[in-house]
Every structure is written in structure tokens, then in C-alpha cells.
A and B are shown apart, each in its own frame.
Chain A
Amino acid sequence: MTFEPKILGFLCNWCSYAGADLAGVSRIQYPPNMRVIRVMCSGRVDPVFIFKALLTGIDGVFVLGCHPGDCHYLEGNYEAEKKFIMVQKFLKIVDFDKRIRLDWVSASEGARFAQVVTEFIESIREQGPSPLSGENIDQELFNNLKAMENSVSSDRIRALVGRQRRITEVENEYGEKVPIDEYNAIFDGAIHDEFVRQRILLSLSTKVLSVKDLAAELKLDPSEILENMLTLKSRGDIDYQSIDGNTPLYMRI
């Protein structure tokens, strides 16, 4: 049987959902692979939603909003973009970022809606089924994505992305953006660290492990593991459980 991608779309009410309706009214045809969740604004799409969707085994997630400057709520689509880019950065770590896409479709772009949806479906078709779909899922990938979900759910990452626009953008009349390169460097570091920490927490939630064990399990350098574990310990998330010979074992609190 050929692979039919299972796609979830988040559409904002005012532009992209209207554009999707217009595609219908104009009888423009596109493949029937996407299911739509209507939100009032693309800015409503919590990063957690995207991870949850991928964790259920959905093959691709599409977020569609108003074109920059067209947002019914002034600038919700910019907020959506910031969050989306963050999710992308996380997924890039495990080479899963091509399974999500953000685009803009206006209420007059019925044909464009059909086009971008078709393109996304085809892109997912080429990538094949999600390793998280079906009976035998890739458990390591699942754990990684779960750690990412926990990361985007954490106050540290949420505060960083929530403040991003204020930090990096000079607001002007037409909402033009300025490059965010400098900010990105700090942000990339924070994303990586938080991911590692959440991954450690996830591993320690089921068993007691040493730094070496964790390094092996997570395929990371022990010094990086240790550094992040110190942070977790200072946050009060983990503690020593026992000492096995000279090796301390850790547990999640």
C-alpha cells in the first residue's frame, strides 16, 4: 500500500481558514491528507501542540496564518513565527524539522492555499511515514521529542521566546523585521542546553543512572552531561541517590 501522509493543519480564522474556504468555493482541488484545527490566530498555536501532534505519530504539521502585516490581531502572526522558529530549532537537533512548516495564506489566495498544502503533503510523502507512527515506534526519537515538548513547556524557554520580539525588534509602522542573528546565538545555546536537561530528566524519571550511563544513553560527551546535571541539581530537579563504588548515581526528584 502506498504511504498516505497524515497531516495536521492549524489555520487562523481570518486569513488562512478563509483562504481554505475560498479554495473550496472555487472548487480548487488538492490532496485530502490534511485535517484542520481552526484557531482564531496563528499566534494561539502553543509550541506544545506541535510536539504533541508529532508524538501521536502524525506525519507533518502545518501552521498557516495571515501574511505579515495582515494579522487581524495586529501582530499575532509574528508571535506565531517566533514560536515556530523555536520549534524548528529543536527539531533540527534530531533532523525532524522538515516535518513542520509555517506559511502565510490570505483570504483571497484559494489557489495558493491548495498549492502550499499540496507541496507540503508531497514533501512529507517523500520523507516517508513518521517513525512515531504505527505499532513499532522509534522509542529514542519519541523520548527526544518528549524532552523537547517538556523544554517548550518550561518557563525558561517560553520566557526567552516570549520576550524575543521586544529584544530583537525595533517596532515600526509596518512591522518590518530586523535581523535577529545575535539573539539567535544565545537562543540556540539555550535550546540545546534545555533539550539535554529535559532528556536527562526523562531518563532519570524511570531509573537511577550515573553521568557515564547517561552519556552513553544520550550519546553525548560526559562533560556536557555533567555540566547540565549541575544546573539541574541547583534547580532542585535531581539529586544523588547513592554511590556505586566511586560513581555517584542520580535520580529525579
Chain B
Amino acid sequence: MKNLGENSKSVVIIGAGIAGIQAALDLGDMGIQVHLVEKQSCIGGRMAQLDKTFPTLDCSICILAPKLSECYRHDNITLHTLSEIQKIGGSVGNFSVDVLKHARYVKEGVCTNCGDCGAICPVRGITNFFDANLVTQAAAQIAFPAAVPAAYRIDPNKCLYLNYEICGLCYQNCGADAIDFTQKDSILSLDNIGAIIVATGLDLAEDIHTLNIYGYQKYDNVITAMELERLICASGPQAGHLSRLTDGKHPKKIAYLQCIDSRSQKGQMYCSSVCCMYTTKEAMIAFEHDNELESYVFYIDMRAGGKGFQKFLQRGAKEYNIKYLKSKISHIDVDKDDNPIITYEDYETSEIKQLTVDLVVLATCIIPSRGINKLADVLGIDLDHYDYVKTNPFLPVETSAEGIYTCGCAREPMDIPRSVAEASGAAARAAEVIKGG
């Protein structure tokens, strides 16, 4: 591949979810050097956690994995995992960026992903965000088996050696000599940065305080959509065989509650954009595991404007036994067998009704990435009144600072195709800065 000259300007992309990855690949393929900065130990973001994607029911990791390895291998992309932006200086066309790189304590290129360190590590019970905290792992850990980079890391907050200088079993057990306790957090100073792209994505509002009217964490058979996503995922904690966390029973009736803290005075006023569709998807996948399953979707407005979305909903109703109920939820109790009872107002008849189900799934609100305020301060960009990165409707990938662009859920909740499109869009704007000089 022919590249721009060695001294040419490069681009820093913050966040290596699908948006950051797409922007990096586009710029890299244009011959522009990219620094892709990710705070987690692996790339892929939220999309890597998903089982399938709507409306095609593509297996998420199947279509994502080739992009992950392409990104990892790309001549023009330098990946910085466990890293965050600490300081920037300069202005459009010539930023300088300081990246704080946290130590992995495992040599990335040397680790063979064999898992011997994790097997021998005596520290257990650390929750794994990747599996929606449903399973635990050791202090020597990897988010998921097919993670990129395919390297373990040592959790510095939990590791006995790093905290008390005892143990070191992983070091002794690693045949590849990949464990390196001498690694230190370091600052990498990047100069000659032409443009910056903020692709920090989303978090989910799964806070007990705002969700407890739905019985979340009070009743074990009330779970969030992300938890369900992991439970029905073939590579998730239940290997895709969905069962209740209370008694291991296979649910026969699942209720999906929409707009949990979205479009709500108590939570966020906005719409999370993707829940109507992913709920239908999750109900479909669950049905594929059990053709007797009944699904009930409690919603306010069914928002399905994207390509093929209406047809997807029709298929859900016709072929997957999904019933859509326009309604307002009052509250949730459980019966003596821990089966959730939903009390709701049916908008079609304006009656108060009850429905007992085996499992309740909450479509929790998408919120800006935690840490976006700090990052916005560092970068000097404005956020909107919801703390998403502020953009102008007709300059959709521009932030308030010249030369800093944004895309995907960093600026508004949106689905994957739109995130990918915006990521390419942000890449185009960054390329204009670098190529147009």
C-alpha cells in the first residue's frame, strides 16, 4: 500500500468500538497514519458483546471479527489499548496529544492466549464487563476468548503480586515468558496530529436507583437487555441456552419493557433509538432456541424507520410469536415462584391489566460514555444538554472545536449502520484536513 510520506500528519481516534474501528480502517486505507486509542484491554466495543444484529440477524462477531483483525494488523494503524487521552495542545492540522498508556503487565506480542495465567491465578470473583458482569474471572484475564489483541492482562487493582508482592504464580506458569510485572503506566506524546475523532460510544443506564421501580436487582428474573444479550449468545455464560438465573428453568414467557428511563421525566428525556429493534431481535433469537416461547413487548411508540425495519417487526409478529402491546407500565411484583407480574395500562382499551411472565427484560437507556465530561474538558469540546458531544444538524460530524470530529453514539444514540456511516463521514472530514492541507 502506498502511503503518505513519513512526516505526514496522522489522526488520533478515541474509542475502538465499531465506529472508531471503521474510521481507523478508512483513514488507514487512504494511506493516513492512525493512532487508535481504547480504554479497554481489547477492541470491538459494544458490538462485540452482541449475539446477533438486526434486521438481518447476522452473527455479530462473525461480521466484526474480520474488522478487528484487519485493524490490529493494518500497517497504518497503531493500536493503544488500556489507554486514555490525558492532554492535548495545538490546533487543527497540528495537534499534540498525550496518551496515558496503562500497563498490561503482559507482553502483547508474546502472549499466546493460552490461558495458563488465568487458570493458575488465585484471585477470583472479578466481574467481567464483557459478559454484563454475569460471570467472574481471575486477575489474569481476557475479556472474551476471541479478543483482539489476543493477549491477557493483569488487573492491577486485584493482582496479589502488584499490590503485595506475593504470588507471582502466573509469571512462573507462563511458558511464553509473556508476564512482565516491571511494566509501568507511561505517557506517550504524539505530535503532528492533523485531526482527532471522538468515537467514545455509549454506556447503559443500569443504575439500581433509577431502575428499582421495575424490580431490577430486587427480583432476579428481571434482567437488562444487555444481560439477556449475553445469556442468549452462543459464546456467552449460558452458551446460548437461555435459562433463569433463579432456578435454571427455561423461560416460556418473556416480557420486554421498552423506554426504561428513556423518554421519561425520571430518567432521560430522549429516545435511545435502538431498543424497539434490538428487543424484537432478542425475542427472535430466544424464539429460535424455543419455538414455544411467547414474547410480549410493552412499548409507547414503535420506532422502526431504518431499512427493512418494518418488515422485521412484521416477521416478529407473524413468525416469532411476538405480541406488541402499546401500554404504560405501572409496576412489577413477583409471585411465590419468583415469576414477575407486570401491572400495566393497556393503551388500546385504557384498562389496567396484569400479566405474569417467567422473565422480564428491561430496555435500559443508552447514556453517554462515562468519562465523556472529563474527555470533553481535555479536548475543549462542547457537550449538549444530555452530555453527548455537541454537533450542528448540518455539520453532523463536527464538534465545537475545529479539527475535532465525532461519530456514532458519542453524539447521539444510534444503530450500527448509522454509526459506521458517520465514522466514515468523520474519516472523510479528517482526511480533508490532512490531504487538503
Give me the interface of A with B, judged by CB distance under 8 Å. 14-15, 18, 21-22, 25-27, 66-67, 69-70, 72, 106-112, 173-174
Contact = CB atoms under 8 A, between A and B. Distances in A.
Interface in B237-267: 239-240
B66 A22 contact: no
B57 A22 contact: no
| Dominant secondary structure at the B interface | loop
Interface in B50-74: 51, 55-63, 65-66
Contact of B62 (A18, A21, A25, A111): A18
Nearest to A18: B65
B234 interface: yes
Interface in B131-170: 145-146
Interface in B39-92: 51, 55-63, 65-66
Contacts of B59: 15, 66-67, 70, 106-109
Nearest to B63: A70
A22 B145 contact: yes
B57 A69 contact: yes
Interface string B112-135: 010100000000000000000000
A173 B235 contact: no
B62 A110 contact: no
A108 B61 CA distance: 6
A25 B65 CA distance: 15
Nearest to B58: A70
Interface residues of B, number: 22
Contacts, number: 63
A111 B233 CA distance: 11
A25 B234 contact: no
B205 to A, nearest CB: 27
B380 interface: no
A67 B51 CA distance: 13
A25 B115 CA distance: 9
Contact of A66 (B57, B62, B239): B62
A106 B63 CA distance: 10
B146 A14 contact: no
A108 B58 contact: no
Interface of B: 51, 55-63, 65-66, 113, 115, 145-146, 233-235, 239-240, 308
Contacts of A18: 62, 65, 146
Given A18-B65, A107-B146, A174-B308, A26 B235 contact: yes
Contacts of A173: 308
Contacts of B51: 108
B234 A106 contact: yes
Contacts of A27: 115
A106 B308 contact: no
B66 A25 contact: no
A72 B65 CA distance: 11
Nearest to A174: B56
Given A106-B59, A174-B56, 17 more contacts: A14-B62, A21-B146, A22-B146, A25-B146, A26-B145, A26-B235, A66-B59, A69-B56, A69-B57, A69-B58, A72-B62, A106-B61, A106-B62, A107-B146, A109-B59, A109-B234, A174-B308
Contacts of B60: 108
A173 B63 CA distance: 17
Nearest to A111: B239
Contacts of A25: 113, 145-146
Nearest to A72: B66
A25 to B, nearest CB: 4
Of listed A21, A109, A112, residue having the most chain B CB within 10 A:
A109
Q: 10 closest A-B pairs (Cβ-Cβ)?
A: A106-B59, A25-B145, A107-B62, A109-B234, A108-B235, A111-B239, A108-B61, A108-B234, A106-B62, A15-B62
B284 to A, nearest CB: 13
A173 B306 CA distance: 14
A14 B59 CA distance: 11
B65 A107 contact: yes
Contacts of B63: 70
A227 B437 CA distance: 78
Contacts of B240: 109, 111-112
Nearest to B150: A25
Contacts of A109: 59, 234-235, 240
Given A25-B146, A26-B145, A111 B57 contact: no
A110 B235 contact: yes
B17 to A, nearest CB: 18
A38 B51 CA distance: 25
Contacts of A69: 56-58
14 contacts: A18-B62, A25-B146, A26-B145, A70-B62, A72-B62, A108-B51, A108-B59, A108-B62, A109-B235, A109-B240, A111-B240, A112-B234, A174-B55, A174-B56
Nearest to B307: A173
B277 to A, nearest CB: 15
A25 B233 CA distance: 16
Contacts of A70: 58-59, 62-63
Contacts of A14: 62, 66
A110 B61 CA distance: 12
B239 A107 contact: no
A15 B115 CA distance: 23
B424 to A, nearest CB: 20
A66 B239 CA distance: 18
A203 B362 CA distance: 69
A174 to B, nearest CB: 6
Nearest to B114: A25
